[in-house]
Structure 1
Amino acid sequence: MYQRILVPVDGSATSNCGLEEAIRIAKLTHGQLRLFHVIDDLSFALALGSDSGLSNDLLRSLRGEATRILDAAQATARAAGIEADTRLCDAFPGPVQDKVASEARNWGAELIVLGTHGRRGAKRLMLGSGAERILRVAPVPVLLVRAPDEEDAAAELLRASASALAAAGE
């Protein structure tokens, strides 16, 4: 079960939550991971702005950053004893969700695991949900791993600090 797990990564804390869960699943199933990063056309266009003369340098820079993200994710998986390969997609144009779905089909993924902010209400309407878009087009099951809210993370940090102070005072 779930021998081939596709993990879209972007280097964010939210993405890393998805990676950590994928590693846990791969340990249980003796599966392998494919770490996948997309340089999408919108990001490229926004980073490029109006100066098209820099497009080759910009794309080289974006590819370098993407490689760094993939290498870091691969190192995390390997440190946990999980086999992971990487794939960078910078084929323009097309939405990220279509690239993820295509990679899942072409690689023969059995599961996609990715982090999500878990936005609701107005934030979701304003910012959209990349995870939801992937969920809608995915050819295989998708596991969404909700990253802690900033408020949840801050509250946890305060609890941990209070516990450490209490322990130090004893």
Structure 2
Amino acid sequence: MYDRILVPVDGSATCEHGLQEAIALAARLKATLVLLHVVDDFPFMVELASAASFDETRSRLLKMGNEILAQASRHATEGGAASETVLREVTSRRAADAIVEEATRRQCGLIVMGTHGRRGFNRLAMGSDAELVLRESPVPVLLVRHQD
């Protein structure tokens, strides 16, 4: 049914819920998980005045992203699912755009991601990458709600 499942990961408990659901599904379907971490460094470009501090911060973000991907890959292996990892860096767009692009690029048939399930003002104030992915994705999206 689904040969490749894209799972965005950021190390949060919310994403962990989505990852665990994706691992269980992939193990049953013998699908490959495409684990994606998106580094959005645009806020740092705006906030940091010196190029040196930006480069240092960017390097730390990329290192942290690789660590998050390695941990997610270990979880997938422990859960009996094959996986591959992708680290993407975006500067002037939302993470949701990169998620949808990678799903298409990697020929994934499903996206599984955790969501806070925020409503009302909190959703408006914080935005929702999950909601944007749901609206823009050319493939089905499974949102796994995490209660705060």
Q: TM-score, structure 2 length as denominator?
A: 0.93
| Higher normalized strand content (fraction of residues) | 2
Is 1:82 aligned to 2:81, yes or no? Answer: yes
Going from structure 1 to structure 2, the CA distance change for 1:49 and 1:145 (only over 3 Å counts) comes to: same
Give the Cα separation in 2 of the matches to 1:147 and 1:119: 10
| Higher normalized helix content (fraction of residues) | 1
The residue that corresponds to 1:36 in the other structure is: 36
1:1-170 matches, cutoff 5 A: 1-45=1-45, 49-149=48-148
Q: Which runs of 5+ in 2 are unaligned?
A: none
Larger radius of gyration: 1
Query: In the alignment, residue 42 of structure 1 is paired with which amino acid?
Result: F
Bigger RCO (CA 8 Å, 6+ sep): 2
Deviations 1:69-119 (A, max 9, x none): 000100000011110110000143322111111101110000000000000
Give the Cα separation in 1 of the matches to 2:8 and 2:21: 12
Give the CA deviation at 1:44.
Answer: 3.5
Q: TM-score, structure 1 length as denominator?
A: 0.82
More displaced 10-residue stretch of structure 1: 15-24 or 83-92? 83-92
Give the Cα separation in 2 of the matches to 1:110 and 1:137: 14
Contact kept? 1:32, 1:83, Cα under 8 Å: yes
Residues matched between the structures, number: 148
Q: Which runs of 5+ in 1 are unaligned?
A: 150-170
User: Percent of aligned positions with the same letter in both sequences?
Assistant: 43
